[in-house]
């Protein structure tokens, strides 16, 4: 019985470590997406119109939204 209990304990510990690694990866994805957006915003020329600026950063905004949604899904946020 104690041997089985130890196997369950080890398996549960492995699951917790894996879950933490997944969460850290999602957090890193969100941070990377945010950094990419910051860079894109800095690279928008001062002479750009609002429409041009919006078009220039649109892919990075979508990337942040996707990464945020994936992170929220992993956290079971409403």
Q: What is the pTM of this model?
A: 0.71
Q: Give the total number of structural domains in the chain.
A: 1
69, part of any domain: yes
9, part of any domain: no
48, part of any domain: yes
Quick check: 21 and 41 in contact, CB under 8 A?
Answer: no
Per-residue pLDDT of 20-32, as tens digits, reads 777 788 888 889 9
- Beta carbons within 8 Å of 68's beta carbon, 6+ residues apart: 30, 33
- The tokens for 59 are 């892919």
Range of the domain at 73: 24-78
For residue 20, what pLDDT is reported? 77
């Amino acid at each position: 019985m104690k041997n089985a209990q130890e196997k369950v304990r080890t398996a549960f510990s492995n699951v917790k470590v894996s879950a933490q690694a997944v969460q850290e990866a999602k957090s890193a994805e969100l941070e990377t997406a945010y950094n990419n957006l910051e860079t894109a915003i800095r690279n928008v020329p001062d002479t750009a119109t609002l429409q041009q600026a919006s078009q220039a950063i649109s892919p990075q905004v979508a990337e942040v939204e996707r990464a945020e949604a994936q992170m929220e899904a992993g956290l079971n946020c409403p």
